[in-house]
Structure 1
Amino acid sequence: MATSTTTLSPTASASITAVGSEDPSDVMMNHLQEVLLLNSDPVSLLNSFEGDDFLEQLAPVVEDALNSQAVDLLVERLATITAQKETEVQELCNSNQQEYTRAVQQLARVKQNSEQMRSSVLGINQSIQQSGRALNKMLKDSQGARSNIDDATAALRQCLKVLHMTNQVYEMIEQKKYFQALKSLDDLQKNHLQEVAQFEFAQRIRHSVPVMKDTIKEDVHTDLSVWLQSVQEVVPQIGMIAFSATEVRRRKWKAKVDKDPQLRFYKLNSAVELAMEQDDDDEHFDPLDNAHIKVDLTPFYDCVLIYTALGSLDEFREQYAYGRVQDKDQLLPKSIAFTDDDISPLENLLHSACGFAIVERATVRMAYKVRTAESVDALWELMCQRIADLIDPVLPTLQNPETLLRVRTLLGLFIQTMESFEFSVVRLHSFMLSLFGKYSDFLKERFAQEFSQSVMEDDYMPMVINQRELWEQVVNISWYQADVDPDKVTFPCVLPFSQVYPLSCAELRNFVNQHYNFADEFTEQNPGQIESRLRTSVDELLVDVVCAILIKRLKSSNREEIVQIFINLEYFEIAASAIEHTLNETATVHLAEPIKLRAVTEFAQARKNAEQRIFELINSKIDDFLEIAEYDWETTVENSAPSSYLVDMVRFLETLVNQTLVHLPKSITSFLYFDAFDHLATSMLDLILHAGRRISKPALHNFNRDVHYVESFVYELGQPKSKPSSSAALTTVTASLGNRLTSRSRNPSVTSNASSNPPEDPVLVRHRSGDDTDDNSLLTTFTELRQTIDLLMSPNIEEYNNTEVRMRKYGRVNPQNAIALVEKLHAAPIAPPSRSRMLYRGRNNN
């Protein structure tokens, strides 16, 4: 039944609050009528009493009654309304009583009929139940039998299926279908055996499942062992095929470098080479699958799958890693022996190591969870160390540098091959550097032997060549450029250096070329190391061998030999500068700083030592002549010719100038002349200064004659003249030198100036002897001696006291010397007169 709610209207609310304007009883009555809906029917009134809305509307009326102290009036009015409504309800019930009675009678008749029908139904039901009990029993019996038959049939079929699957597992194991057998076995164990668990044969099958899994594990491991054994037998062939592929790549790259020299900065396996190779050839070479060999990795993959399915991958990883270490130990012998004549054992070793590592890298790509890159790299490092340990003891037994070059070629090919398969070659590169050092030591030792032999056989005379062919060979192989047009060279032709220089140049070129040939096998692991090692080797060769041996020869007392060594040192300095220039131009990497050879400064210093040695020898010879000089300073006889010792000295100096020093550069001969004549002038001045107590006029005239004689020689020496023909004193170079040059130039393509250095190369300089010019400045070395003698021979010695005259005529004369000599000149003779002689021994600068 729906409930109706009444809401107090604004008018009613206003009427309640308006106390005093009307009679309170009337106002309250009106308000109650609105709240209680007295004009509505009784049903609506009952509905309005339900819920909280009625109480909410009645609350203001009660509150007003309390406020106005009319509670008794409110109770009275409520009682009046209640009585009124009861009267109305009674009237309503009286008007409908007959209809209600009639309905009750009808309901009584319906109830009686339903009881009768119920009794009939119960009787019928009882009869049916009695008749169907027998049929129901028969039905249940037949259904039970049928169910038993169906259960037995299903169980039999399941048993047959289990037995069939078990047989299939054994067949799969025999057919080496291990993974399928393992899957069927797992399905049998988890699903089908559960359905026949009550049978005894099922329990036996269940107990045999672990045995079958172990059988599968053992069989697959056996197959893997057989496969590994077969792979071990072909790893040398795998390595050889990989070497061949790398050699093909090397030839292709060399052809590209020859076309574009800028590519020489990039080695094989560099990013540039790999990018260009991909552009040229899209086919990927697989050393395990090619026209020559095919290695099936299925057994390894199957083994990984089986152990993974069995949950034993960690066990397999450890077993496989241990097995590969053992295989590595079997592959690499405890020792290796190869000789200068046969290095095939080393080649076989590198092929095997290469093939072994390639197989390892392939297993990483197939099963990275079993063979990680880290584990393979660790094994590879052990192999590299072992290979180095095997080769190291053999290297000292090798006697031929060419063998080291062949070893380098093999190791270089091995390094580049392994680098292409992403193996670290740092350890091998370090070994190659040590091998490079041994190779360099071999070359230095051989160079030292040949250079020492050449020095011993050298005649220390300028080379005289009679054949143009030999002249061109010598000029091209030496860092030398003639001072005349090659087409205008006449023969016999004299070259300033001796034959040891071109022979050494050939060896030096060959030494550098062999180092670069060795360095071609190096990768980009350590850019600049080869250049640094080569610079060190060349420096050691030039300084410790060439320069050291030549400096040692400077101890000789043979002036001609020392002069020739000086000239040779000059050209060796040129050669060192040329080699320094070549090393910078042909560097295989971009150098942060240019290469500087210490040998350049060492040869320059050695040349200064040789120059000083020449000074010492010449001055020593002059002292030897001065030691036999005898002057009677109190003589009364004037000589008509110069002293014999001085004549011999001038002859010596003429020979020295015209033959020994003729090929020296003009700048050096000038220094030599100045030093020698200055030493001579000083020594002769010492002669007269130490003359004794008195100098006679005749003795002074004799001494003046000797000084004039020497001055004349010095003056003639400064005059221009043609060079003397010294071919008679020189050794003519024959064709045998050409044969020696050819034998020492093992790489003709890089031994000539024409091919390696153009004529305008700054390191190729002309002979620096210069042209003869008029030079009388040598006479200045005798200025002090000449002015001193002129002062003593002057008729007016007192003019020395005149400052102007002294500065003009005697500016170089030492005043103390002048006083001492004048006193000796005017000293009185000893009475009785006797001949006083003084033998003066000159200073020996040795």
Structure 2
Amino acid sequence: MSSVAVDSLQLENLLLRDEDIFQTSLNSEDYLESLAPIIRDSIRSNGLNSLIVKLNEIVNDKDEELNVASMESTDEISQCINQIDSIHQESMVLKDEFMKVNQSLNKSTIELINRKNRFIKYKTVCGRINETSIVLTECIQVLELTNKILESIRQSKYFNALKLLDELLNIHIAKVQDFNFAKKIVDSIPHLTKMIKDDCFDNISRWLSLNLEQKLTAVGQAIFNNIHVLQNNWEDIKKNNKTFLPYKLNSPVEQSLRDPGINYNIFTDQSLQIPLNSIYDAILVYQTLHELDTLIDAYHKEWMKKYSRIIYPLAPASVNIKDIDFTNLELAGYLQKISAFFIMDKQLNLITKFQLRTNTQADELWLSYTTKLKPVLLHNLKRNRFNNVDDLKKYKDLIGDFLQVMDNYSYDITELYDVLMIIFKDYFAPLVVQDFRSQFIDSITSDHYMPLAVDSQEDYDSIMKLVWYQKDSAFAPQNVRSMPIQLPFSEDYIHYCFGIRNLINIVIVFISEHYNYEITEINNIIVNDIVELVLSNKKGFGIAYDIEDFVKRNATNKEIVAQTYTNLEYYLFSLYEVGRMINNRLRQYTGVGIHNIDVNDTFTLQAVDTFKDLKKYSEQAIFEMVDSKINELLDMVEYFDYTTTEKNTEANYSVKDFAGFLVNLFTSIFSTLPSTLRTLGLFKTYDFVSEHFLNVLKRAPSYNRTFVENFDLDIRYLEDSMRKLHSPREGNTEALESTFAELRQAIDLLKLENYDEFLNNPGFRMRHFDRIKLEFGQSLIGKMIGGSTNPTDDDTASLKSFETSATASKFTQFAGRFKRMGDNI
């Protein structure tokens, strides 16, 4: 088959397939677009002619079909024409109606256009009105903000005013910046800012005046009340636990155990009602303005102004301390205000987080102030001239409470603590020393100086608890079986023991509060300036001096001298116990004992040596008193007739009186004294008497045997009397009797019938007269009238005139002197 035939066949198939294409109008773009590929394919396959032929055939076929269809549809067309006519008529009617509608529509359109135009105009006006309304609203907001700013300033809400000002400047003012009033507002912003700053600081100044200056008294009272509460709470704790006794208020131990809830805070005290808005407001304002340094400087200046007013009259640099004269009540109020000022300073620093002032500034201001206050307190202390411990304690408590308050808030009180130390050392110590000394002098001058007799068990128990004594004493409780009992010491010793205990208690109570520091120095003052001083022999201060002076003034009163010596025995023993007690009490109440303690941990007072010397002095006074009285009595025992012819049958009455005095002396004075002292007294007395009567023989110009016999009778009477004074429990009497050996041998020598053996036989002399030296014996023998024989009548007659004249005058003198001495005894 040829290629042409093939192409023709293909074209026919294609056209048949796409027969529907020709159903469309020839003007249809879809037709042309559908036909174009057929034509293009025909051209490519060289079948264009066949395509044209075929297209013609198709056209002819379709025409025929159309003719047939047209003929067949004539009736229908007629009907359609009729219908079209009726439609035409109806359309004409509709046209008329449409014309009417169109006219109405045209009229409505014109009206609508007019309305639209009016609407557009109205819309434009409304837009402008809205724009104007918005602008006016912004203007109103600007004005309202301006008014709010001014109102906040009036209400002292400065930070709020500053926030509103910032909002005005950064948000609202830009929207109305073209208006003149806005420009004026913008121009006034620096003024408003300055007004906020100035009013804010003025408000702080007013706040300080109202809540600092005017409330200082109330704040001070509240602070002092709180320190008393803290003190009472701490005392309660110490009562329940003695371990805490050495620790004072504000010590680390006390602070660690303190309930934080009872610490006082000025700004949480509802009774004060101190608002803090002004302070916070000012800080926020100046921080926001980045001018906090300016506020700090201004605040510091204002604070110093308040400080100068509050510390008046100490403020002027040229103030004369002598012109500042506080009563105790005025000083109390003044110190309360000062404490309130400085404590408020630190508490303000804390709540403001140290943005205005630091605690370093507060501490430096405080140290500067203490240099002004210290001289005033010392001047006031000196001016008061305290005469009793109670008044001084009130003044000490006033200063001490103030220092505890300041110490509680971490202020350095070192400078002012010196005032407390001065009070203690220079005022309290002399006062208690003089009080003790005064009471002691009253005691020793009013004491009867007799061993104390106790009748009741209750009194005995009270005394034993009070006095110091050796536990093995005869009057110790374990050795007492019944009442009454006689104690060796007098009431004076009991008063002394009570006074010492009371003195230590007074001292402990005085330092129990406020004395937190320099404990070692305080202990030294207690020991050296109080206890040691009051026990010393320093004139006007120490009782040792007063005891010695009292003994001197009563040196002739045997009861006082003897009982004082006995009391001194117990005084001396008590000093060891007092030293131990002081050391223990100081350890208990201060935590520090006395450093110079011995190996037995027992503190020994220096007064021990003083009282040992005083005891020796008292012992010497006893012997001097005894010697003095014996000497006075012996002066009355005089011998006038050394050649008497009358032989006595008993001792001379003056010798008997003298012997009676010795018995009375040793049974009264030495009865309560230690046996060693009594023995020593006997030795001294024996020796003194022996020496006196030996001197009678030495001073006698001459004597006869009758005188020697009478003299021997007197001496034997003395020897017997004195021998009775020596108690067997005091040991062998031979030593005492040996004091009369020389006198006895002298008398025995003179009584010999023949002196040749004494003069010529050394062996005999050594056996019987070993105490008599040959020269002394020769002197005695040489005075014997008549040698180995009785005196002659001439010798007797020669001495009669002497006896008669001398005896009468001497007897009268002796009687008067002895009477006076008897009265003194």
Name the TM-score class by shorter chain.
0.5 to 0.7
Contact 1:559–1:660 (8 Å) recurs in 2: yes
Contact 2:742–2:772 (8 Å) recurs in 1: yes
Contact 1:718–1:776 (8 Å) recurs in 2: no
Paired position in structure 1 for 2:415: 427
Corresponding position: 1:592 with 2:595: yes
Corresponding position: 1:674 with 2:683: yes
Contact 1:528–1:589 (8 Å) recurs in 2: no
SS for the counterpart of 1:528 is helix
Corresponding position: 1:464 with 2:453: yes
Contact 2:454–2:486 (8 Å) recurs in 1: yes
Deviation at 1:238, TM superposition (A): 3.4
Match of 1:497 among 454, 465, 489: 489
Contact 1:325–1:379 (8 Å) recurs in 2: no
SS for the counterpart of 1:329 is coil
SS for the counterpart of 2:486 is strand
Contact 1:335–1:390 (8 Å) recurs in 2: no
Tell me how far apart the structure 1 counterparts of residues 274 and 172 of structure 2 sit (CA, whole Å): 40
Contact 1:388–1:431 (8 Å) recurs in 2: no
Contact 2:786–2:792 (8 Å) recurs in 1: no
Tell me how far apart the structure 2 counterparts of residues 529 and 164 of structure 1 sit (CA, whole Å): 73
State the one-letter code of the partner of 1:835: L
Contact 2:564–2:618 (8 Å) recurs in 1: yes
Paired position in structure 2 for 1:363: 348
Match of 2:549 among 514, 528, 552: 552
Unaligned runs of 5+ in 1: 1-151, 721-770
Tell me how far apart the structure 1 counterparts of residues 727 and 572 of structure 2 sit (CA, whole Å): 31
Distance 1:252 1:163, change over 3 A: closer
SS for the counterpart of 1:288 is helix
Distance 1:786 1:315, change over 3 A: same
Paired position in structure 2 for 1:540: 533
Distance 1:801 1:351, change over 3 A: farther
Tell me how far apart the structure 1 counterparts of residues 765 and 349 of structure 2 sit (CA, whole Å): 102
Counterpart mapping for 1:237-248 below 5 A: 237-248=218-229
State the one-letter code of the partner of 2:467: S
State the one-letter code of the partner of 1:601: D
Match of 1:317 among 300, 310, 315: 300
Corresponding position: 1:275 with 2:277: no
Greater C-alpha Rg: 2
Contact 1:719–1:776 (8 Å) recurs in 2: no
Tell me how far apart the structure 2 counterparts of residues 804 and 205 of structure 1 sit (CA, whole Å): 148
SS for the counterpart of 1:496 is coil
Corresponding position: 1:219 with 2:199: yes
Deviation at 1:677, TM superposition (A): 1.9
Deviation at 1:516, TM superposition (A): 0.8
Match of 1:477 among 460, 463, 466: 466
SS for the counterpart of 2:799 is coil
Deviation at 1:559, TM superposition (A): 1.7
Corresponding position: 1:524 with 2:516: yes
Paired position in structure 1 for 2:672: 663
Deviation at 1:621, TM superposition (A): 1.5
Corresponding position: 1:782 with 2:782: no
Deviation at 1:809, TM superposition (A): 4.6
State the one-letter code of the partner of 1:702: N
Tell me how far apart the structure 2 counterparts of residues 541 and 268 of structure 1 sit (CA, whole Å): 30
Counterpart mapping for 1:85-234 below 5 A: 169-179=149-159, 181-182=161-162, 208-228=188-208, 229-234=210-215
Question: 1:159-207 deviations in whole A, cap 9, x for unaligned?
Answer: 9998787666435433433245456767988999999999987875566
Distance 1:819 1:194, change over 3 A: farther
Paired position in structure 2 for 1:746: none
Question: 1:395-418 deviations in whole A, cap 9, x for unaligned?
Answer: 736665334334434443433332
Tell me how far apart the structure 2 counterparts of residues 800 and 197 of structure 1 sit (CA, whole Å): 156
Tell me how far apart the structure 2 counterparts of residues 246 and 201 of structure 1 sit (CA, whole Å): 61
Paired position in structure 1 for 2:696: 687
Deviation at 1:627, TM superposition (A): 1.8
SS for the counterpart of 1:268 is coil
Corresponding position: 1:380 with 2:340: no
Tell me how far apart the structure 1 counterparts of residues 734 and 657 of structure 2 sit (CA, whole Å): 23
Deviation at 1:717, TM superposition (A): 1.3
Contact 2:374–2:415 (8 Å) recurs in 1: no
Paired position in structure 2 for 1:69: none
Tell me how far apart the structure 1 counterparts of residues 511 and 211 of structure 2 sit (CA, whole Å): 37
Deviation at 1:804, TM superposition (A): 6.3
Contact 1:336–1:391 (8 Å) recurs in 2: no
Question: 1:218-270 deviations in whole A, cap 9, x for unaligned?
Answer: 32233223322223344344344444443444344334434544433332222
Corresponding position: 1:266 with 2:225: no
Distance 1:608 1:191, change over 3 A: farther
Distance 1:268 1:619, change over 3 A: same
SS for the counterpart of 2:453 is strand
Contact 1:304–1:367 (8 Å) recurs in 2: no
SS for the counterpart of 2:495 is helix
Contact 2:249–2:513 (8 Å) recurs in 1: no
Paired position in structure 2 for 1:514: 506
Tell me how far apart the structure 2 counterparts of residues 662 and 399 of structure 1 sit (CA, whole Å): 43
Aligned length in residues: 633
Unaligned runs of 5+ in 2: 1-131, 316-322, 598-602, 815-825
Question: 1:684-728 deviations in whole A, cap 9, x for unaligned?
Answer: 222222222x443333333333222222222211134xxxxxxxx
Tell me how far apart the structure 1 counterparts of residues 282 and 334 of structure 2 sit (CA, whole Å): 29
Contact 1:791–1:797 (8 Å) recurs in 2: no
Corresponding position: 1:581 with 2:580: yes
Deviation at 1:293, TM superposition (A): 4.9
State the one-letter code of the partner of 2:157: K
Contact 2:450–2:490 (8 Å) recurs in 1: yes
The TM-score, its normalising length taken from structure 2, stands at 0.67
Corresponding position: 1:824 with 2:783: yes
Distance 1:301 1:713, change over 3 A: farther
Deviation at 1:584, TM superposition (A): 0.8
SS for the counterpart of 2:667 is helix
Distance 1:789 1:349, change over 3 A: same
Corresponding position: 1:303 with 2:303: no
Paired position in structure 1 for 2:661: 652
Tell me how far apart the structure 1 counterparts of residues 531 and 337 of structure 2 sit (CA, whole Å): 37
Tell me how far apart the structure 2 counterparts of residues 499 and 567 of structure 1 sit (CA, whole Å): 12
Tell me how far apart the structure 2 counterparts of residues 558 and 776 of structure 1 sit (CA, whole Å): 31
Question: 1:251-299 deviations in whole A, cap 9, x for unaligned?
Answer: 443344345444333322222332334xx76886535325655544442
Paired position in structure 2 for 1:621: 629
Distance 1:184 1:574, change over 3 A: same
Paired position in structure 1 for 2:92: none
State the one-letter code of the partner of 1:286: N
Tell me how far apart the structure 2 counterparts of residues 296 and 783 of structure 1 sit (CA, whole Å): 105
Bigger Cα displacement from structure 2, 175-184 vs 617-626: 175-184
Deviation at 1:681, TM superposition (A): 1.5
Tell me how far apart the structure 1 counterparts of residues 738 and 485 of structure 2 sit (CA, whole Å): 36
State the one-letter code of the partner of 1:375: Q
Contact 1:238–1:288 (8 Å) recurs in 2: no
Identity of aligned residues (%): 26
Question: 1:714-761 deviations in whole A, cap 9, x for unaligned?
Answer: 2211134xxxxxxxxxxxxxxxxxxxxxxxxxxxxxxxxxxxxxxxxx
Question: 1:473-513 deviations in whole A, cap 9, x for unaligned?
Answer: 23332334652453734433222222233233323322221
Contact 1:619–1:676 (8 Å) recurs in 2: yes
Tell me how far apart the structure 1 counterparts of residues 183 and 676 of structure 2 sit (CA, whole Å): 114
Paired position in structure 1 for 2:799: 835
Distance 1:282 1:401, change over 3 A: closer
**Once superposed, what is the RMSD of the aligned Cα atoms?**
4.2
Counterpart mapping for 1:789-804 below 5 A: 789-793=747-751, 798=757
